[in-house]
Chains A and B, each alone.
Chain A
């Protein structure tokens, strides 16, 4: 019976600790109309210490969303527009010589913020992308001889434009894998867009209130780690990821020639983490298959390498993930 009490306690604790989630959603809802999936994804990334790659045409409130989140959490926010002439030093900072003091001093770059928006990350060459991705992975930056820790929480939201590919530097697969989620942002619905227009032409644009301190997020992350994930769910997660690698073993022979490579072990880890965070957002102390299914597309879509056969057949990674989820038996 102890275990029963544990789960009850955990549920109560999560019920208490996750109350801010609804408040964040409410505050963000004042500014962002619709885009509930984007807001949920931001929260998943924030709570599970992951980074997000956003893909969507310009004008879908990507910048506004992360800006609003920063203001709700009372955290630093910086936006970096990636351009072909951007240098790593512009991002992480550099040593500047002070003639007055006759010494070098460190000028920290915009990456030293809690929330970083890397706008159009594929417009900069590989060395700049690498500098950011290294900072994302290590959560520290070395300038000169000194290593500096990045602030906590540290969330990078990078954007990519799916329609203009000329003159871009596509992110290599190994680097894309470092993003926990790849979220595809779509246009708002008609009714939502009507509200957006109204808000934007009004005298005053709504503002979100600050309701959290960065420390609250760090505390919440520890609670998310406590969310119970059963062995059956772990097995379900592994089945999904393994199906992206060996589809023929799961009766999906038709995808064998279409997949060059499947999800890495990082995919399994991130799927489990994101599922926990999703359960937390839903104010539950344990993960259920619905949580795994809810985050599967975002976690896996950038981790499946498609072959030219798939492109010829017009099969996308979305289609493959959907088919996998519809084939693997739910525990």
Chain B
């Protein structure tokens, strides 16, 4: 009998200890809810600050609101948890919830539950008043004001403008590609290096030779084309604006430039002088003069062409090969 009494005493004592510990734990954790204001106008947005104060090693579950508090109190927004460590070693966790009500009257924000292990801690019920707008009944009834129009911001326009530009670019590319395909041209042009002045001149002189203009009694045309070729050559070679200048002006420009080949200068002067006579004075040179003029033109280009020194090991380009061939041809013709 005495044994049973002793056991019973221990059990009661153990139960008391356990209950005391649990009570102590709950007393160290506090939850609280606070409204920004107790009364506000219909539609105003008011903040509710939820706060948990807890020791370091405890865990309290802060609610995340997915629904409104009730049918009349709407949750507009809610922040994430903001944790602050106090000097006492405790934590304060805060969360702000924005609410709004769209009818006047008194409302009670229900206790908000916080999970604490198997227990649930609740905040106090918060009472607040929602006021309607004061209406002056002595005045006439006015129409409802239209909503204010906020100015258009760049952020609003930007996506549309960007989209428009992108669309325009796509349309342009499509049209460009279609046109190129229709014209049977390559869609992307490859960069073509500019031909050297003497290559162009040689090609044009060859063409003039093959056209046999003076043989068809088109002497004026022959000298016009011949001088045009030389003028183009001088333009490309010495960057002198020759097309808008007279023969005399071109020669003067050459004299003030770095042109220092007297023999070639005299050759060019003779060609220009003879051509001016043919073009502007009805002069008809004899056939030998036509040939000589052509040969002089070749000689002039040959002697004044720009030669770029190359590494002997480098492979010869096509244009250089052509130049050499031209020079050879001139020498052979001179000999004959």
Contact = CB atoms under 8 A, between A and B. Distances in A.
Interface of A: 1, 3-4, 6-7, 11, 228, 230, 232-233, 285-290, 293, 325-331
B10 interface: no
Contact of A289 (B224, B246, B277): B246
A331 B272 CA distance: 12
B243 interface: yes
Given A230-B280, A330-B245, 17 more contacts: A1-B284, A4-B282, A4-B283, A7-B277, A7-B281, A228-B281, A230-B279, A232-B224, A233-B280, A286-B282, A289-B247, A290-B246, A325-B244, A326-B244, A328-B244, A330-B243, A331-B224
Secondary structure at the A interface, as helix, strand, loop or mixed, is helix
A230 B282 CA distance: 8
Closest 5 CB pairs of A and B: A286-B281, A289-B246, A3-B282, A230-B280, A290-B246
B76 to A, nearest CB: 62
B280 A6 contact: no
A1 B286 CA distance: 10
Contact of A7 (B245, B247, B282): B282
A328 B283 CA distance: 25
Interface residues of B, number: 17
Contacts of A3: 282, 284
A17 B252 CA distance: 30
A287 B277 CA distance: 10
Contacts of A326: 241, 244
B276 interface: yes
A228 B244 contact: no
Contacts of A230: 279-282
B248 interface: yes
Contacts of B246: 288-290, 293, 330
Q: Which of B241, B245, B248, B249 has the most CB of A within 10 A?
A: B245
A287 B243 contact: no
B280 A327 contact: no
Contacts of A11: 281
Q: Which of B244, B247, B249 has the most CB of A within 10 A?
A: B244
A15 to B, nearest CB: 13
A3 B217 CA distance: 14
A4 B281 CA distance: 8
A257 B224 CA distance: 35
Nearest to A230: B280
A325 B246 CA distance: 10
A328 B244 CA distance: 6
A1 B283 CA distance: 9
